[in-house]
Every structure is written in C-alpha cells, then in structure tokens.
C-alpha cells in the first residue's frame, strides 16, 4: 500500500473499470490518506478520521466494482452490505453492527488460511509420520514378565530388531512419497463435527445475544469420532489439514485480524438511498430513519462487541452508494451527511463505453466468452462491426426499458450466443465468425418488439 501513489491506484483500476475517472480519483485519495495517517505523529494519528465517500449513479456503472477492486489492490478487509437489509432495533431484520462482525469473521478466515498455508510443509511432515505410524504400528508395550525375559536376551539382537524396524519405516516412507501406496486403505479416526441445531427466536436477532452457542456447546458435548476406511492420499490430506490447524496460533490470528479491520477495513454500503425516508414521520419511513440513526455511531466511530473481542470502527473506511433516483443525498439525516464528506457522481454509460467494456478490461466480457468456448475447441471471432452493434443495441434497450448500465451487456451476450453455447460440443465447424449481420438477425425482432424486449433483454 505504501508503494501506491494515487495515480498508480487509478492506473490499476483502469485495467478493470472503464471511465468514472472522478470516482477513481476520490477513492485513490481516500486510500492514500490512510497511508499518510500512519506516517503522522502518534498523538495526531487518532484524531484524523477517514474521509468517507458517497458514490451516486444508476445501477451497473461500476460503483461496487470500484470498491471491490480497491480492496483487492491493497489487500484490505472488505465486505459489501445492502443498507436495505438492516432495520431499526425493535423491527425484524439484521442489526447494523452485524456488518462489522461479518468483516472481522471474513478477515479471521483469510488470515487463518494464510497461516495454515505458511505451516503446510511442517504439517505435512508431521502428517507423514502419523501416516507411517498407521501403516507400521509401533510395538505394543511389554508386560513385566516380558521385560524380565528381555533382560536375559543378548543386547545385539534387540538392536538388530530396532534397526530392522527403522529400515522398514524408511522403505515405507519412500514408497509413500513415490505414490506406491496410493491404492492402500488405512483406518482413520475422524472427529464428527456435527453439532445439534438450536433455533433461537429473539426480536433482537442472534447477533445481539452475544453468545456463540456453537463454541459453548462444543465444550459441553462429548467429542465423538468415527473410524473410517480411507485411501492413503485422502488420509494424508486429512491429517495434514488437522496438523495445520493445530500449528496455527488462533490468538495471534484474531489479534492480527482485529488490528487489520480497525486500521484498513473497508465497508461498502450499497443502496444507501433505500433507507432515506421521503417525508418521514409515518409508516416505514420511521424505520428507515431509525436505520440511519443506528448507522451513525458506527460511521462516527464506536466499539462493536464481537465473539473475538471488541472492534473499534473509528478508522474503517465507509463507501456508500446509491442511485438516488427519487431522493437526494441531502435527504439523509444531517449527522450522517456530515460523515460522508466526499460526494462523487458517476456517469451513465453509452455506446462508446460499452464497446470499451466489451474489449478493453483484463476481464473483458468478450474474452470470458471466448475462453469458455475454447474449452470445447470452438474458436469464435467477433468482427468490429458486431461489437459496435451489440453496444448500440445495449444503449438503445437501456433507453427504452430500465437503464441497468453495463449489466445489459451480459443479457445481450447470453441471448446472442445461446445457440453456440448449446451446440458447441457437437459442432463440426470449429471456427465461427460473428459479424454485424449475425447480431442483427439474432436480436432484431426482439429489439423492435418493445414488450418482448422488456422480458427478454
């Protein structure tokens, strides 16, 4: 993150997102400010609050993609939530604090996976020793009479037996590594992880209860394990996973996750306009305003209790987004408006942008379909006039029906290539050229019939 200048962040985002330069600049500055905050003197560091952003624009113009790519770019903990899923305390629905808990849970899992990956080699060595113990059981503990008899046995004979056992073990180890034992079965004790299901009916929801029933019951319920016959490679994999989990220090993982969430977490609040009441004071608008009031302390900065410990939200970056068709950002409660100082309006997408979206990004839509069909040995070529025609139809259908931005391209491409995708495995002709005429023939009737286009495109 310290390496990335705002211009470099924008350049990276350009690889995946077409246009929206203002929005990219805003998020790049917000991200760089995080790094700058880490460099200022410690007494001032806690005083600098993140500059939260509201992205305003219709659906399908790249709001979510900007936030998601940003988090991947900087390896920041990231979660996307729909504001409309939350309700005020007292109403049925999720409470707003659950988004912080979700973010921490995701981060714990990511760091745990990385730690397990780091100790994988050591875990594999321990698992290999356990596997050899299964394949070549150690001699049983001898009774007192056997020990007395063993004392009278010449020492060189005992040493010879130990050496023989050791050489057999090494021979087995070699065979195990060479895969010669892959078809052999071993008896393995597998812990049964099934937990009893308990339904809790509470107006506050499970999150508010602050009790993790699963963890609590795991201490009370006896640990049951069942013996299974499994092939050697599968058993080795299971033992490696078990040992990797045992080698990871979970306290260290949790502490790292909490620090990472607190210092570099990003929460993307989608559909923020859906919790804005138009007039307020009656009906569902009361609940909507209640959601805003519940959001306020989290965005301002407070301590949220989670099953891993308290998490401070003071320096989590909040990126909100909404279409704001029927309401305005100024309809948010004044306190919440003040917590989102940066407002960016995203541009609607037209034919030129659609052509670029189809061809330019690293994950361009045409490249995805070409790669899918190449798996069947079918080589599809799109002529330039075909791409222009698809973009023009997407723009036209967006204007005639609902404007869903670049998502319209997915609908058009699926319909356009439906026959090819269906027949690909049986095709004799392995090279297909798609030109403007093919696109016209396929989509002309639907495009002209407005009622049909509403349902199909």
pLDDT tens for 309-318 read 999 999 999 9
If we measure between CA atoms, which residue out of 28, 236, 217 comes closest to residue 127?
236
d(CA 308, CA 316) in angstroms, rounded, equals 18
Contact 112, 246 (CB under 8 A): no
Torsion angle (degrees, nearest 10) of CA 357, 372, 408, 416: 120
How do the domains of the chain map onto residue ranges?
6-113+259-345, 121-247, 351-456
In CATH terms, the superfamily for domain 6-113+259-345 is P-loop containing nucleotide triphosphate hydrolases (3.40.50.300)
Give the pLDDT confidence of 393-415 residue by residue, as tens digits.
999 888 888 888 888 899 899 98
Contact 388, 40 (CB under 8 A): no
Mean pLDDT, the chain, integer: 82
* The predicted structure's pLDDT at residue 318: 93
What's the mean pLDDT in 178-182? Answer: 81
Give the pLDDT confidence of 243-278 residue by residue, as tens digits.
898 899 999 999 999 999 998 899 999 988 888 876
Enter the tokens of residue 264.
Answer: 């570099």
Q: pTM above 0.75?
A: yes
* The predicted structure's pLDDT at residue 186: 83
d(CA 22, CA 30) in angstroms, rounded, equals 13
Q: What are phi and psi of 4, to 5 degrees?
A: -85, 120
Residue tagged 């308990």 (tokens): 198
CATH number 1.10.8.60 given to 351-456: yes
If we measure between CA atoms, which residue out of 326, 390, 280, 344 comes closest to residue 61?
344
Helix/strand/coil (H, E, C) string of the chain?
CCCCCHHHHHHHHHCCCCCCHHHHHHHHHHHHHHHHHHHCCHHHHCCCCCCCEEEECCCCCCHHHHHHHHHHHHCCCEEEEEHHHECCECECCECCCHHHHHHHHHHHHHHHHHHHHHCHHHHHHHHHHHHHHHHCCCCCCCCHHHHHHHHHCCHHHHHHHHHHHHHHHHHHHHHHHHCCCCCCEEEEEEECCCCCCCCCCCCCCHHHHCCCHHHHHHHHCCCCEEEEEEEHHHHHHHHHHHHHHHHCCHHHHHHHHHHHHHHHCEEEEECHHHHCCCCCCCCHHHHHHHHHHHHHHHHHCCEEEECCEEEECCCCEEEEEECCCCCCHHHCCHHHHHCCCEEEECCCCCHHHHHHHHHCCCCCHHHHHHHHHHCCCCEEEECHHHHHHHHHHHHHHHHHCCCCCCHHHHHHHHHHCHHHHHHHHHCCCCEEEECHHHHHHHHHHHHHCHHHHHHHC
Could you tell me which residues come within 8 angstroms of residue 417 by beta carbon, excluding any fewer than 6 positions away? 369, 373, 380
Question: In the beta sheet, which residues pair with residue 225?
Answer: 191
Could you tell me which residues come within 8 angstroms of residue 2 by beta carbon, excluding any fewer than 6 positions away? 35
d(CA 86, CA 97) in angstroms, rounded, equals 10
**Beta-strand pair 303-306/309-312:** antiparallel
Torsion over CA: 269, 26, 17, 316 (sign): negative
Residue tagged 């967006």 (tokens): 398
The rounded percent of the chain whose pLDDT value lies above 70 is 82
Contact 413, 359 (CB under 8 A): no
Range with the poorest average pLDDT among 36-40, 130-134, 452-456: 452-456
pLDDT at position 163 over 80: no
Could you tell me which residues come within 8 angstroms of residue 137 by beta carbon, excluding any fewer than 6 positions away? none
d(CA 220, CA 211) in angstroms, rounded, equals 15
pLDDT at position 198 over 60: no
* The predicted structure's pLDDT at residue 402: 80
Give the pLDDT confidence of 92-145 residue by residue, as tens digits.
567 888 899 999 999 999 999 999 999 999 999 998 888 888 887 766 555 555
Contact 239, 127 (CB under 8 A): yes
Residue tagged 């993982």 (tokens): 253
What confidence category does residue 161 fall into, taking pLDDT thresholds of 50, 70 and 90? low
CA max distance for the chain: 102
Could you tell me which residues come within 8 angstroms of residue 5 by beta carbon, excluding any fewer than 6 positions away? 32
Total residues found in the chain within this entry: 457
């Amino acid at each position: 993150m310290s390496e990335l200048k705002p211009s470099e962040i924008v350049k990276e985002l350009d690889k995946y997102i077409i246009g929206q330069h203002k929005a990219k600049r805003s998020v790049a500055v917000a991200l760089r400010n995080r790094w700058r905050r880490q460099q200022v003197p410690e007494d001032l560091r806690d005083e600098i609050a993140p500059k939260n952003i509201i992205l305003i624009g219709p659906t399908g113009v790249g709001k979510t993609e900007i936030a998601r790519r940003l988090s991947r770019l900087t390896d920041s903990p990231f979660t996307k939530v729909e504001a409309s899923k939350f309700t005020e305390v007292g109403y049925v629905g999720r409470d707003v604090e659950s988004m912080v808990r979700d973010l921490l849970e995701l981060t714990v899992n990511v760091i745990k996976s990385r730690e397990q990956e780091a100790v994988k080699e050591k875990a594999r060595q321990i698992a290999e020793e356990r596997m050899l113990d299964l394949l070549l059981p150690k001699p049983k503990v001898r009774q007192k009479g056997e020990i007395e008899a063993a004392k009278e046995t010449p020492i060189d004979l005992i040493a010879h037996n130990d050496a023989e056992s050791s050489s057999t073990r090494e021979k087995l180890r070699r065979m195990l590594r060479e895969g010669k034992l892959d078809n052999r079965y071993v008896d393995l004790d597998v812990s049964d992880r099934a937990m009893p299901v308990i339904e809790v009916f509470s107006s506050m929801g499970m999150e508010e209860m602050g009790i993790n029933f699963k963890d609590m019951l795991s201490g009370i319920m006896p640990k049951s394990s069942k013996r299974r016959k499994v092939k050697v490679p599968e058993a080795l994999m299971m033992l490696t996973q078990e040992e990797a989990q045992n080698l990871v220090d979970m306290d260290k993982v949790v502490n790292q996750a909490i620090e990472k969430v607190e210092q570099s977490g990003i929460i993307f609040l989608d559909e923020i306009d859906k919790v804005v009441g138009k007039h307020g004071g009656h009906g569902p608008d009361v609940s909507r305003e209640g959601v805003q009031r519940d959001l306020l302390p989290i965005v301002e900065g407070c301590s949220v209790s989670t099953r891993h410990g308290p998490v401070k939200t003071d320096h989590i970056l909040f990126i909100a987004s909404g279409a704001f068709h029927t309401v305005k950002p100024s309809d948010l409660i004044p306190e919440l408006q003040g917590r989102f100082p940066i407002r960016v309006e995203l541009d609607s997408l037209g034919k030129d942008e659609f052509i670029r979206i189809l061809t330019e990004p690293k994950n361009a839509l045409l490249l995805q379909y070409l790669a899918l069909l190449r798996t069947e040995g079918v080589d599809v070529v799109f002529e330039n006039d075909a791409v222009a025609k698809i973009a023009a139809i997407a723009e036209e259908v967006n204007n005639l029906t609902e404007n869903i931005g670049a998502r319209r391209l997915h609908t058009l491409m699926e319909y356009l290539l439906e026959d090819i995708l269906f027949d690909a495995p049986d095709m004799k002709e392995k090279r297909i050229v798609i030109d403007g005429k093919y696109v016209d023939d396929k989509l002309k009737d639907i495009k002209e019939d407005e009622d049909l286009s509403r349902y199909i495109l």
